[in-house]
A = this chain, B = another copy of it.
């Protein structure tokens, strides 16, 4: 059986390098090219006859790259946060027209993706929920993209669960130190911890009288992303749509 032809874009970045190494280590995959900022991506894809293009570049470039990949004959596997909804919809339209599969995923850690899925399911029974994410001290933005995505999934599960599942109102709550109760995104409290020693961690806590359910994911090294990236690389060639989120293709 011929090997799946994979090109890595952003090959000089940390995630790109890890991906190139991981692809080389797999018997059924072939690394046919590496590109980076400044290269002609379309030409690279065509000359290498790449079937799948993994893109770990920059939020600003990612939408343009995804379009280039689709139009140059590759199936994109794009790992970047910060896509705007209208970009995703436009790219999905292009993909659908070309009947070419692809994936844009803010998070390739299967454990993190399962956590989000479980969180959405638990919210049906536990409307009172808070999210804590813990990252290294050099992370600039708070909360993390994963936390925002998690909350969006919880919110959506709460809303479809009917009015019986609304989180309790707490009108009298009073902060004596401003910000102590965290931020609120879609009505759900979110707390960002930043300490050296952490890498990427997230905890979702559900409370009900007499019980607490906690879901936690710790990702102390970037090794955690490769199983998800390789899963996606093999899956996209069999798809005919561009999906958003690793969870969307886990059960396909």
Task: Give A residues with C-beta under 8 Å from B.
Answer: 109-112, 114-115, 118, 121-122, 125-126, 128-130, 132, 134, 137, 140-143, 148, 168, 170, 172-185, 189-199, 205-227
Contacts and interface: CB of A to CB of B under 8 A. Distances in A.
Oligomeric state, in number of copies?
4
A222 B112 CA distance: 25
Contacts of A219: 210-211
Contact of A126 (B111, B121, B206): B111
Given A207-B198, A210-B197, A125 B130 contact: no
A134 B128 CA distance: 13
Contact of A168 (B122, B137, B220): B137
A221 to B, nearest CB: 4
Nearest to A220: B220
A136 B113 CA distance: 23
A210 B222 contact: yes
Nearest to A109: B211
Contacts of A205: 134, 193, 195
Given A179-B183, A220-B199, A111 B212 contact: yes
B173 A180 contact: no
Nearest to A215: B215
Given A177-B142, A183-B178, A215-B215, A110 B125 contact: yes
Contacts of A142: 173-177, 180-181
B195 A212 contact: yes
Contacts of A217: 211-214
